[in-house]
């Protein structure tokens, strides 16, 4: 079967490698073609290259496409990807909320779809399909029909065989099969992480996406560093350089921009004996990746006072739901919002 994966981020490429390693319905390890739709963000591109290097030992045929720069060349690259989409018998997609992916899907003739996003997009996609809503990211306002509406038309065709490959705790939506991502590829690649003495705080892009106010976030980070003995801040790939500079100057903590997704960084180490994270995907993935490795993962909850005026009630509820799910499923302890951000 001709299989094509469309990915746009390092985490999506990692999840494709995990799906290929896990196999599909008794096929064993799956060989597939991967079209990397390169983002503009420089650090995302660095991480994509590093994940591609690690995945080189797997049966992944990775091709990079410059689909966001230039004019004539960009259109040629998009046309080349569209041709591959039209020829694929099975599509593996990392982000159905992507406008670029939604533009490509009308060309698809595949009768099988695998969704491999293990992030917040997974839980939101399940909710959207279950409730019959439009494809809109959890932190954005619902828009018009557009590409999202056309993509949903294809996604909901009764003849389409749909699978969601995820580590998130979700109920199967109508007509979609759930396959658990146990991070077998990562765990086999790095059998046990090197654990160091200090504590790591994982950064988040909640400020950059307009959910949390920057000053509240900076005060919260300073309080966590001071009270929990944090000596490293591992930045999210989308965090701004200016914000990271302010964190380093205000706290004295060592700020690092990892060249790998946090799941891979943690799996190989060195990683702190305690890892603190705000509500995000890694609150769900790291307990799986680090299971039995002697690393404690803790949750730093987001206070109501930190949200910006433009943050929707849906976004607030979504974040709280992510936090409660991580605590319930993985037994994570958490820091009360009252202890930080004052």
pLDDT at position 129, please?
Answer: 76
pLDDT at position 146, please?
Answer: 54
User: Which CATH number is 160's domain given?
Assistant: 3.40.50
Task: State the DSSP string of 39-104.
Answer: -S-HHHHHHHHHHHHHGGGSSEEEEEE--SS-SHHHHHHHHHHHHHHHH-SEEEES-TT-HHHHHH
* Structural domain that includes position 235: 191-335
Of 164, 186, 208, the last residue of a domain is 186
Closest CA to 77 of 90, 86, 68, 87: 68
Mean model confidence pLDDT for the chain: 87
Task: Name the phi and psi angles at 118, rounded to 5.
Answer: -100, 15
Contact yes or no for 37/67 (Cβ under 8 A): yes
> In this structure, are 295 and 201 located in the same domain?
yes
Half-sphere exposure of 126 (CA within 13 A, CB side): 21
Least confident of 48-52, 62-66, 124-128, 264-268: 124-128
pLDDT tens digits, one per residue of 171-198: 888 888 999 999 999 999 887 888 999 9
> In this structure, are 225 and 199 located in the same domain?
yes
Of 170, 186, 202, the last residue of a domain is 186
Does residue 266 register a pLDDT over 90? yes
CA atoms of 322 and 108, how far apart (whole Å): 33
- 229 located within any domain: yes
Of 186, 201, 234, the last residue of a domain is 186
User: Which CATH number is 212's domain given?
Assistant: 3.40.50.11110
Q: Six-digit token pair at 259?
A: 């060249």
Banded pLDDT at 136 (limits 50, 70, 90): low
pLDDT at position 342, please?
Answer: 44
CA atoms of 99 and 97, how far apart (whole Å): 6
User: How many angstroms separate the Cα of 285 from the Cα of each of 11, 180, 279, 282?
Assistant: 11, 12, 12, 5
Average pLDDT, stretch 303-323?
89
Q: Which residue has the higher pLDDT, 71 or 341?
A: 71
> In this structure, are 206 and 117 located in the same domain?
no
- 15 located within any domain: yes
Sorted by sequence, the CB contacts under 8 Å of residue 78 that are 6+ apart come out as 65, 67, 100, 103, 104
The number of domains in the chain is 2
- 342 located within any domain: no
């Amino acid at each position: 079967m001709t299989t094509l994966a469309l990915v746009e981020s390092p985490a999506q490429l990692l999840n494709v490698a995990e799906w290929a390693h896990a196999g599909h319905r008794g096929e064993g390890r799956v060989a597939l073609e991967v079209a990397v739709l390169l983002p503009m963000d420089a650090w995302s591109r660095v991480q994509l290259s590093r994940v591609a290097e690690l995945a080189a030992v797997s049966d992944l045929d990775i091709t990079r496409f410059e689909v966001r720069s230039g004019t004539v060349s960009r259109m040629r690259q998009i046309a080349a990807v569209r041709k591959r989409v039209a020829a694929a018998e099975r599509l593996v997609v990392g982000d159905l909320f992507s406008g670029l992916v939604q533009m490509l899907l009308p060309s698809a003739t595949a009768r099988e779809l695998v969704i491999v996003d293990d992030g917040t997009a997974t839980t939101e996609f399940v909710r959207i399909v279950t409730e019959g809503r439009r494809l809109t990211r959890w932190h954005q306002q619902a828009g018009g029909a557009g590409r999202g509406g056309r993509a949903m038309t294809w996604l909901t065709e009764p003849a389409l065989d749909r699978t969601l490959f995820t580590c998130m705790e979700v109920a199967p939506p109508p007509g979609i099969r759930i396959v658990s991502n146990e991070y077998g590829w990562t765990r086999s690649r790095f059998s046990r992480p090197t654990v160091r003495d200090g504590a790591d705080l994982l950064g988040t892009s909640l400020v950059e996406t307009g959910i949390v106010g920057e000053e509240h976030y900076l005060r919260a980070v300073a309080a966590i560093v001071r009270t929990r003995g944090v000596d490293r801040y591992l930045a999210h790939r989308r965090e701004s350089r200016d914000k990271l500079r302010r964190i380093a100057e205000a706290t004295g903590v060592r700020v690092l921009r990892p060249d790998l997704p946090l799941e891979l960084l943690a799996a190989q180490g060195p990683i702190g004996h305690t890892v603190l994270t705000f509500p995000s995907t890694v609150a769900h993935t790291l307990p799986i990746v680090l299971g039995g490795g002697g690393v404690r993962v803790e949750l730093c909850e987001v206070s109501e006072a930190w949200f910006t005026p433009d943050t929707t009630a849906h976004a607030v509820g979504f974040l709280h739901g992510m936090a409660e799910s991580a605590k319930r499923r993985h037994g994570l302890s958490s820091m009360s919002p009252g202890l930080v951000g004052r």
